[in-house]
Structures are given as structure tokens and as C-alpha cells.
Amino acid sequence: MPTGCGRTQALLSAALSASRADTLELIGTPLAAQAAGSGHRTIAAHIGRPLSTVRRWLRRVPENHVHWLYEQVAQHAFRLDPEILVRPRRWPSLLGWRLNVLAGAALAHRRRAGPELPHWTRIGLFARGNLLRPPLRT
């Protein structure tokens, strides 16, 4: 009798979002645009995705997830460069501020590890591929 957990597991590229068919860059760009004040219609037109998809992505980032994202990046940022956490540029939204800290951590990681990985892939590594929601608890 098999003793496995009954689940299928697969390794994804770090550039992909968990549970999504799109890359972290394609999902992260609208989040950053919304944080900077763009609306979902403008964002959808800019990235060439359906309005309903972009609206769904933007709604998938509740405030509690923004805090989770910050906790993830804070752990990495502190190890890379603690100054990232005390000097981020202020944004009008909590999401924008958190994404700015994520970007700072990604830049610090690039200085240390090299330029091979794209920016959003680094952010995805820090967020464990979960830009739109925290991982499911089991």
C-alpha cells in the first residue's frame, strides 16, 4: 500500500507564480502600476491582458497579504542589507511601500549574487512565488 501524501508536487521555474499560468513579471508589473496610481483599465491595456484578469489579480492582494509579503522580504533584506528596511521611499499606499522594499531587497541581492536573474524573479524567490496570496496552510 502506498504511503505517499496523496498530492502531486512539481518544481516551477522561479520566474513563474505559484498557481498561475503567468510569470511573476507579468503579475508584478500591474501590482506596481496600481501602487503608483494606475487603474485596472489602463494596466490591462498596457500589458495586453483582459480587464477581468487584471482586476482579479489586483483584488487578490488583500491587506493581510501585503503584510505577509513584507515579512518575507524583511527576512531576506535584513540579511542582505539592513539599511533597505529603514530608508524606503514612501508611497501613497501600503502595497506600494511594500513593493518598494521588495525592489530594494532584489537590488541588494543582485549586487551580491550577480545580474543573472530578472528583478521580478528575485522578488518571486523572496515571496516564494506567491505575489497574489500567501501559500496555503496544510
pLDDT above 70: residue 11: no
Provide the terminal-to-terminal Cα distance of the chain, rounded to the nearest Å: 23
2 versus 106: which is more confidently predicted?
106
Give the per-residue SS3 of the chain.
Answer: CCCCCCCCCCCCCCCECCCCCCEHHHHHHHHHHHHCCCCHHHHHHHHCCCHHHHHHHHHCCCHHHHHHHHHHHHHHHHHHCHHHHCCCCCCCCHHHHHHHHHHHHHHHHHHHHCCCCCHHHHHHHHCCCCCCCCCCCC
Q: Where are the domains of the chain?
A: 24-126
Position 50 scores a pLDDT of 92
Query: What is the chain's mean pLDDT, rounded?
Result: 75
Residue with grid cell 518544481, as numbered in its chain = 11
The length of the chain is 138
Backbone angles phi, psi at 27, to 5 degrees: -85, -40
Mean pLDDT of 104-108: 80
Position 46 scores a pLDDT of 92
91 closest CA partner among 105, 106, 103: 103
Of 25-29, 121-125, 126-130, the poorest mean pLDDT is in 126-130
Angle at 21 between CA 26 and CA 17, to 5 degrees: 65
Position 21 scores a pLDDT of 66
Position 138 scores a pLDDT of 47
pLDDT above 80: residue 81: no
| Most confidently modeled range among 69-73, 78-82, 99-103, 117-121 | 117-121
Of 41-50, 58-67, 77-86, 111-120, the poorest mean pLDDT is in 77-86
Position 8 scores a pLDDT of 67
